[in-house]
Amino acid sequence: MAVAGATSFSAANISERAALPPALALSTVIFALRPSENSGRPTLWLPLVRRIREPFKDLWALPGGPLTQADSLQDAAARNLQETTGLAPNYLEQLYAFGGLHRSPSQRVVSIVYWALVQSTQADLAQETENVKWFRADGLQELAFDHNEIVDYALWRLRNKMAYGSIAYHLLGETFTLAQVREVYEAVLNRSIDPANFRRQLKQAAHIEATDEFLQGGKHRPPRLYRYTGERQGEQPGSLFSAH
């Protein structure tokens, strides 16, 4: 099924494409926070898999696969994510259906793409193999297919949701300090935020509750731990309540 060089197409090639039914595939953009190599501050990373076949052999690509028959799109995305990277997502939402004519040089492929958030602890457990590796989300190298464009769009959506919705918690564990939430915002939105104002906004708007515990072991005054009380899963058409 894989053919020739990925750059140009003959007329014969095009008419051959028109005869085949478009294939349906699922891919997922997975985000997690990991410490930066330099500063050690949390930054956005995502796992990619190496292509071991043409087309785009040896380039890195989003994890994905065919649509499993017995699952809904959402379930199939979660299952596929688990099988290719070993990760269990904390948040999963449909991103977009990409269906340009020449996304793949061989057969025409329509990809339904999801995006996911996983906790840092999860991400650390995930095995890095020869063919699965984490990359920083910004300044990514050239990827297979149109996956650079897809990652850019996912990043845009993530930042949008972060700025308005209450999504940051899905990158954190069961309990967290308000400073940690702030660090998530700063890492994703790539700008510093006033701690005083930020904590107030969180405590009034978002769905969190204070616990009786404090994070010990720091150098300074131990901060209080909080817990997220909102929805755990991603946004879906069924749930028409979330503001954005």
Residues in the site for DNA, rule: CB under 7 A?
A: 177-179, 194-197, 199-201, 214, 216, 218-224
Shortest distance, position 77 Cβ to DNA, whole Å: 33
244 binds its own copies (CB under 8 A): yes
Is the Cβ of residue 96 or residue 135 nearer to its own copies in the bound state?
96
> At 30, phi and psi to the nearest 5?
-110, 125
Q: By C-beta, is 221 or 232 nearer to DNA? A: 221
Question: Shortest CA distance to 178 belongs to which of 237, 222, 234, 232?
Answer: 222
Q: Which residue's CB is nearer to DNA, number 160 or number 201? A: 201
Cα-Cα end-to-end distance for the chain? 42
Q: Are 151 and 140 in contact (CB under 8 A)?
A: yes
Q: Write down the least CB distance from residue 188 to its own copies, Å.
A: 15
Closer Cβ to DNA, 134 or 198, answer by number: 198
Q: What percentage of the chain's residues is helix, strand, coil (to nearest 5)?
A: 30, 25, 45
The C-alpha atoms of residue 168 and residue 159 are separated, in whole angstroms, by 10
Q: Please report how close the Cβ of residue 173 comes to DNA at its closest, in angstroms.
A: 16
Q: How many residues bind its own copies (CB under 8 A)?
A: 32
User: Any contact of residue 99 with its own copies (CB under 8 A)?
Assistant: yes
Task: State yes or no: residue 194 binds its own copies (CB under 8 A).
Answer: no
The alpha carbon torsion through 189, 193, 199, 201 (nearest 10 deg) reads -70
Per-residue x/- marks for its own copies, 19-58, CB under 8 A?
Answer: --xx-x----------------------------------
**CB 125, min distance to its own copies, A:** 30
Q: Are 51 and 144 in contact (CB under 8 A)?
A: yes
Judged by beta carbon, residue 160 or residue 229, the one nearer its own copies is: 160
Residue 38 or 216: the one with the smaller Cβ distance to DNA is 216
Distance in angstroms (rounded) separating the CA atoms of residues 93 and 235: 6
CA neighbor of 184 nearest in space, from 201, 164, 160, 167:
167
The yes or no reply on residue 138 touching its own copies (CB under 8 A) is no
* Assigned token pair, 61: 């690509």
The reply to whether 1 sits near its own copies by the rule CB under 8 A is no
